[in-house]
Amino acid sequence: MPKPDSVYFFGTCLIDLVMPLAGLAAMRLLQREGIEVIYPQGQTCCGQPAYNSGYDAEARAVARCQLDALSRDIPVVVPSASCAGMLKVQYPKLFAGTPDQARAERLAARVYELTDFLARVLDWRPVDRGEPLKVVLHHSCSARREMGVAEAATDLLSRLAHLETVEPDHAHECCGFGGTFAVKQPEISAAMAADKADALAATGAQVLVSQDCGCLLNLGGTLARRFPDAGPRVQHIAELLWERTHES
């Protein structure tokens, strides 16, 4: 796809409520490339919590807000592989056989996860203005298996000249968040997060980055409890990319 003049930005609930600076960084990365970023005020949650819990009618009611808010035929950029997967992969299933099926399929075809959009559509080639830094990258299950965009994030970080990216042991395993899984199975989730945190800390990285806020919240809390003075700090990948490449 050629570089577009404008895109929709789908902010996601966790960006809005917990990591707003990541959303601002993501929009700035796009705007710096000369792209108009449109943030429709009518957007809401993607509907994933209801959908994953089996409440399809309630999920459709929420998802329909996105069909209305993101209706123009321009790309939709999402700073979350999980929410992007809901819009791109699950909406066509959710609306199959309903009057909104065609609208859901048209929207799905225009959805891009942020790092995939930067790497593949824009062929982003930044100048790294930061000091040498060791980073460990955690890919969410959605990035690896649902959206298939894990390599895009790895590729982007490799383009930063002063960055060393390391991979932890058991990198392909889930962090234990899994949306409602962490609520429904807290003991199993906590054990998975503890194993993951130990592997991340063992890399000696200064920063943990990911495409998904849910994973960062789960792992960040676990790291803070297990390694209060020595674990890596946690940052959304959009913040890291902006922090290292903008001119102050």
pLDDT tens column, 33-75: 999 999 999 999 999 999 999 999 999 999 999 999 999 999 9
Confidence of residue 183 (pLDDT cuts 50, 70, 90): confident
Q: Among residues 104, 88, 107, which one has the least CA distance to residue 96?
A: 104
For residue 247, the model assigns a pLDDT of 85
Confidence of residue 1 (pLDDT cuts 50, 70, 90): confident
pTM of model > 0.85: yes
For β-strands 76-78 and 111-113, DSSP reports them as parallel
Number of neighbours of residue 38 by Cβ within 10 angstroms: 15
For residue 182, the model assigns a pLDDT of 84
Q: Among residues 233, 236, 230, which one has the least CA distance to residue 214?
A: 236
Strands (E), the chain: 6-9, 36-38, 76-78, 111-113, 133-138, 163-166, 207-210, 233-236
Confidence of residue 105 (pLDDT cuts 50, 70, 90): very high
For residue 30, the model assigns a pLDDT of 98
For residue 231, the model assigns a pLDDT of 86
Cα–Cα distance for residue pair 114/117, rounded to 1 Å: 5
Q: Scan for tokens 């490449």, then name that residue.
A: 245
pLDDT beyond 80 at 179: no
Q: Which two tokens stand for residue 141?
A: 């299950």
For residue 227, the model assigns a pLDDT of 93
What three-state secondary structure class fits 96? coil
Better-predicted residue by pLDDT, 170 or 106 = 106
First vs last Cα of the chain: how many Å apart? Answer: 32
Query: What mean pLDDT is reported for the chain?
Result: 95
The single-letter DSSP state of residue 7 is E
Confidence of residue 180 (pLDDT cuts 50, 70, 90): confident
Asked if 137 and 154 count as a contact pair (C-beta separation under 8 A), the reply is yes
Average pLDDT over residues 146-166: 95
Cα–Cα distance for residue pair 205/167, rounded to 1 Å: 10
For residue 189, the model assigns a pLDDT of 92
